Structure 1
Amino acid sequence: MSSEPGTTPAVTTSATPAPAPSHESRIHGCLLGGALGDSLGYAVEFEDIAGIRAKYGPAGLQDFSALDGGSHFSDDTQLTLYTVDGLLEALEWANSGVGADTNACLWLAYLRWLGSQGFPAPEAAPFQPPRWIDSHEVLKHRRAPGDACLSGLATGEMGTFYRPVNPESKGCGTVMRSAPFGLIPYIAAAAVYKLSADAASLTHGHPAARQSAGVFSLVIHALTAGNGLREAAGYALGQLDAGYLHKGEEPDPDLVVRLEAALRLSGDTAAGGVLAPEQLVLELGEGWVAEEALAVALYAVLATVPDPAAQVDGQPEVHFRAAVALAVNHSGDSDSTASIAGNILGAYYGEQCLPADWLAALEAPEVIRGMASRLAAVTGP
C-alpha cells in the first residue's frame, strides 16, 4: 500500500475493523502496552527458548503471574519515556510561540537519561535543568541498556545523518524507543518519519537502524489515523520508496526483506498456525538488531489477529495477550520485540486491550501514565 509523500493513508477496511479509541486512550494504550511487553519480555531477555520452556513450561512465559520476583521494565521503556519528554519540550516551546530544534530537545533528553544510568554528562554537551521525568528513581535503574545508546551519547556529539555516531551499529535501541513520534497528530507522515529517523541518528548510524525507527513510527501514525493493523504495516513499509529517505539513500535491503517476510508469513496462519519459536527466529531473526526486532513484533501482532467471526468477548485483550506472548517466547531480544508489539496494539485499540491483572503487576505505572497524560495534554483531544 502506498500514498503520496507527506500524507497519511485513508482509512481502509480490514479483517479486523479498527475501533475508535480517543487520542488520549491511544497514547496511554501505546505507552502502557509497550511497558507491559517490555516487562514480561525482560524476565527472559537473555534466555534461549529451551531455557524459557524449562522454567515456564512447554508454552513458555505467558503471564505475569508466573514471575515470582515481580516485574521490571527495561531501558526500552525508559528511553521511550525520554523520547516523550524530548517531544514534550519541543511542543511546549512551540505552543508558547517559540521555535525549537526538536532533535536537540531529544538529544538533551537522552543525555539526561545517560546521566541517570551513572555516566557523567560529556563535557561538550550543554547543560539542561532537570524536568519532571528526572525525579523518578525507577528511571535511574540500569536495566541492560544498549551499548550503542550509551556510547553514542557519551561522545558528546549530536549525531546526524551526515555526521553519524556508531556508523556501523544497527541495534534495536532506535526502533524500541520510537513509538512516540507516531503519536503526534496533525503533522504529515513525512515529518513523522524524519523526526524518528533523525532521532535514531543520535546514537546509531547504520541505515537499517534509522529506517526501522522511521517505519515503526509510521505504523503508529497510521494506526492513530484509524487504519487497520495490516494496512498500517504495509503502508509504512511502502514509504521507503516514497521519497522519505535522505537524498541518495536507498532502502536498506535487510529491512525490506525482514518486513516483507513478516507480512507474508503472518498471512499464512490460517493454513499452518503461528510459527514455532525456532522457526520464527530462523525466518525473521532474534531481534537484537533493528529490522529484526520490528519484523518479529509485526509478525506477532498480525499472526494473532482474532477471527472476527468468532465474536470472542474481550477480543482486544485476547489479542494483546496472544501477541505479546508470541513476541516474548523466542531465543532473542524478548523485551524489545514484545515492547514494540505492545506499543502497536495499544495505539490501535487504546487502553481497552490492556489486561487489568497485567497492569496491576506493572512497575511504576504512575510514571508512565504521567508522561502519557502530559503528551495528551499538549497534543489536543
Structure 2
Amino acid sequence: MSNEHSTSPTADATADATADATASPSHVSRIHGCLLGGALGDSLGYAVESDHISTIRAKFGPEGLQDFSALDGGSHFSADTQLTLYTVDGLLEALEWANSGVGADTNACLWLAYLRWLGTQGVAVPETAPFQPPRWIDSHDVLRHRRAAGNSCLSGLATGEMGTFYRPVNPESKGCGTVMRSAPFGLIPYIAAGAVYKLSADAASLTHGHPAARQSAGVFSLVIHALTAGQGLREAADFALGQLGAGHLRKDEVPDSDLIARLETALRLGGAGEPLDPEELVRELGAGRMAEEALAVALYAVLVTEPGATAAAGLPAGRPEAHFRAAITLAVNHSGHSGSTASMAGNILGTFYGEDCLPAGWLDALEAPEVIRGMASRLAAITGA
C-alpha cells in the first residue's frame, strides 16, 4: 500500500503547533492571558529573583527551576504584578471618565493609581499629592505586601511630584520598574500605535527619567499592541522596534543606543536556533536589571522557544502551553531579575495565544487569581471586548 499521503508523528505535531499558533483568540482571552501570564512568570521568577545561576542550579538541579511544584513554600507575585494591575486601574479610571463624557488626563489617573500603590508599600503618600478615594483594587490585602519594589518607583512617587518628560524625577534612572508594568497600554483597542507609545512612555516618566526607560516601556507596549492586532511574535517585535524611528519620540529625543543594540541582539539570537546557556544569555543581553535588558531577555525568550525555532534546533516543538513553559523557564533561569524578565515573557505569550497557553497546574499555584481576573474582566468590559 502506498504511504504517499501518510504523515509522521513529527509532522503531525508540527502541524498542530502551527495551527495552535495561528488560531486567533478573542480579545477577552488576550487580556486575561496577558495579565495572568505575566503574573505566572513573575511568580516563578520571584522565587529566585537576583539569585546567581549557580545558586539556582544547586537548589533545583542542573536545569534550574522548571515548575511551581519545586517550590515547597509556595509562590508569590512581586511588585511587578502589583504595578501592572495598578496600571490597569489607572487606565480604567481614565476610560470611565471618557465613557461618561468627561475628558481626563490619562497620565494623571495613572499617577494617582501609582500613589495609591505607594501607600500599600508602607511609604507615606506625600501631603502635597492629590487625594483620591480608594477603588476596588485597593480592597485586596494581597496587594499590600512589599515584594521587591524598585527603589526608583518608590522614590519617584515619594517626591509628590508628577514626573514628566520635561520635568523628570530620577532623571538618570532606567531600571526595569518601568517596562515590566507597561503591558496594559497595548491592550487598549482602537487606538493608534503612536498613542500607545505616548501613553506608555509618559507613564514611565512618572518614576524614571532616562530615555531608555521611557523608550523600553513604549516599545514593550507596542509589542503587546501589535499582538492584539493579530501579528506574529517576530512580526510584532520588528514592528515595535521600527516604531522608534516613526515619529513617536519627543522633539529632540533620539533612540537610545543601548536599547537599540540590546533589541537587535535579542531578535538576531532569537532566530538562531538552540537557546543560549544562562551565562551566555546574561553576557549577550544583560541581567534584566535595566529596562532595555529586561525587554531584550523577554523578547529573546519567547522568540527562541517558538515552535518553529525549536524544531529547527532539534528541540521538541509543542503546543502553546509547551511554548509558554519553555519561554518562562528560560526567562527565569539566569543570574538577574528573573521575575521581571519572566513576567514580560508571560505578558507577551499570554497576549499572543490567549488563556489557552497557561498551564492549569501553574494557575492552581497562582496567588490571588481572582484579583488578577477581576482587573482583567474590568478592562475587557470597559473596552467592549
Q: TM-score, normalised by structure 2?
A: 0.93
For the pair 1:27 / 2:26, whether they are aligned, the reply is no
Letter in 2 for 1:109: A
- Structure 2 CA distance for partners of 1:325 and 1:313, relative to 1, 3 Å: closer
Query: Equivalent residue for 2:10?
Result: none
Separation in 2, partners of 1:308, 1:165: 41
Give deviations 1:303-333, integer Å, cap 9, x for gaps: 00013997x8961000000000000000000
* CA RMSD, 1 decimal: 1.5
- Structure 2 CA distance for partners of 1:359 and 1:16, relative to 1, 3 Å: closer
Query: Equivalent residue for 1:201?
Result: 205
Larger Rg: 2
Query: Equivalent residue for 1:324?
Result: 328
Separation in 2, partners of 1:246, 1:66: 46
Give deviations 1:141-188, integer Å, cap 9, x for gaps: 000100000000000000000000000000000000000000000000
- The DSSP-based 3-state class of the residue aligned with 2:307 is coil
- The DSSP-based 3-state class of the residue aligned with 1:307 is helix
Q: 1:340 aligns with which of 341, 344, 356?
A: 344
Letter in 2 for 1:158: M
- The DSSP-based 3-state class of the residue aligned with 2:22 is coil
Give deviations 1:48-79, integer Å, cap 9, x for gaps: 00000000000000000000000100000000
Deviation at 1:288, TM superposition (A): 0.3
- Structure 2 CA distance for partners of 1:68 and 1:194, relative to 1, 3 Å: same
Letter in 1 for 2:356: Q
Query: Equivalent residue for 1:298?
Result: 299
Separation in 1, partners of 2:308, 2:200: 33
Matching of residues 157-176 of structure 1 within 5 Å: 157-176=161-180
Q: Is the 8 A contact 1:327 1:338 kept in 2?
A: yes
Deviation at 1:18, TM superposition (A): 3.4
Separation in 2, partners of 1:268, 1:41: 25
For the pair 1:84 / 2:85, whether they are aligned, the reply is no
For the pair 1:238 / 2:246, whether they are aligned, the reply is no
Query: Equivalent residue for 2:218?
Result: 214
- The DSSP-based 3-state class of the residue aligned with 1:157 is coil
Letter in 2 for 1:64: F
Query: Equivalent residue for 1:124?
Result: 128
Q: Is the 8 A contact 1:16 1:308 kept in 2?
A: no
Divergent runs of 4+, >6 A? none
Separation in 1, partners of 2:68, 2:125: 36
Deviation at 1:123, TM superposition (A): 1.3
Separation in 1, partners of 2:164, 2:20: 39
- Structure 2 CA distance for partners of 1:308 and 1:17, relative to 1, 3 Å: farther
Q: Is the 8 A contact 1:41 1:336 kept in 2?
A: yes
Aligned residues: 364
- Structure 2 CA distance for partners of 1:232 and 1:36, relative to 1, 3 Å: same
Letter in 2 for 1:53: R
Separation in 1, partners of 2:291, 2:283: 16
